């Protein structure tokens, strides 16, 4: 679906969220303004305030939608733990567009010192949702092999490597950089 097609579909609020998420993933949270969103959606800047009273409120809505999207992604699939983990890596690579985009939560982190507490909590919730999911998947894989790390620590490590791999691939514009980092990660994991 092209960006123009995506904008033609959905309510104004949904269009605003889609455009803001795109900007966050490609420019970072600090790299766009309400005016940028208004221009991309084709509405007046004042119209944005009808849906979101502040840029932080818009950011919170984008991150909460991403968290719900992750929960829906997980609920829609019944997989064996190894397949679930591979699906997670593919989601990072393809859905988050390794080489050209960032996870919305990771794209907010550079502005951590200037964002409000509600936005910080939303980002932490997205991170914690993924780490909790990874803990379950890795826990199932670890029944087959012992490791010195706790399952929760290993899950946090996997999340961090995926975020870092996205960042590295974004810096170079090369999806291969993501793939190479994930290949190294795979070799260090149980199962």
Summarised one tens digit per residue, pLDDT across range 43-77 is 999 999 999 999 999 999 999 999 999 999 887 77
pLDDT at position 95: 87
User: Which residue, chain included where needed, has tokens 């959606």?
Assistant: 41
pLDDT at position 1: 38
* Percent of the chain residues past pLDDT 70, beyond the cut: 91
Whole-structure pTM value: 0.89
Contact in structure between 30 and 110 (CB atoms under 8 Å): yes
pLDDT at position 156: 97
Q: Which of 93, 92, 125 is nearest to 108 (CA)?
A: 125
Domain count, the chain: 1
Residue environment code for 154-178, b if the CB has 16+ CB neighbours within 10 A, otherwise e: bbbbbbebbbebbbbbbeeeebebb
Query: If pLDDT is split at 50, 70 and 90, which confidence band does 6 have?
Result: very low
Average pLDDT on 89-93 reads 94
Q: Is the model's pLDDT at 149 over the cut of 80? A: no
User: Which residue, chain included where needed, has tokens 């397949």?
Assistant: 83
> Domain of 102: which CATH number?
1.10.357.10
The alpha-helical segments, DSSP class H, found in the chain are 3-8, 12-27, 34-41, 45-51, 55-75, 81-90, 104-108, 117-142, 151-172, 175-188
pLDDT at position 79: 81
pLDDT at position 5: 42
Average pLDDT on 147-173 reads 91
Domain extent, residue 54, equals 3-188
């Amino acid at each position: 679906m092209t960006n123009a097609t995506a904008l033609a579909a959905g309510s104004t609020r949904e269009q605003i969220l889609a455009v803001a998420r795109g900007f966050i993933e490609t420019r970072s949270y600090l790299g766009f303004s309400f005016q940028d969103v208004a221009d991309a959606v084709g509405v007046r800047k004042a119209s944005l305030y009808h849906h979101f009273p502040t840029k932080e409120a818009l950011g919170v809505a984008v991150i909460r939608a991403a968290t719900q999207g992750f929960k829906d992604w997980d609920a829609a699939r019944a997989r064996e733990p190894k397949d679930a983990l591979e699906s997670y890596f593919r989601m990072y690579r393809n859905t988050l567009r390794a080489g050209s985009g960032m996870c919305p939560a990771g794209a907010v982190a550079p502005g951590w010192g200037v964002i409000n507490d509600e936005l910080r909590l939303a980002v932490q919730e997205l991170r914690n949702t993924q780490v909790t999911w990874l803990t379950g998947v890795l826990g199932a894989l670890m029944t087959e092999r012992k490791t010195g790390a706790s399952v929760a620590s290993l899950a946090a490590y996997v999340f961090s490597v995926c975020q870092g791999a996205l960042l590295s691939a974004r810096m170079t514009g090369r999806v291969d950089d993501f793939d190479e980092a994930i290949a190294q990660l795979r070799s260090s994991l149980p199962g």
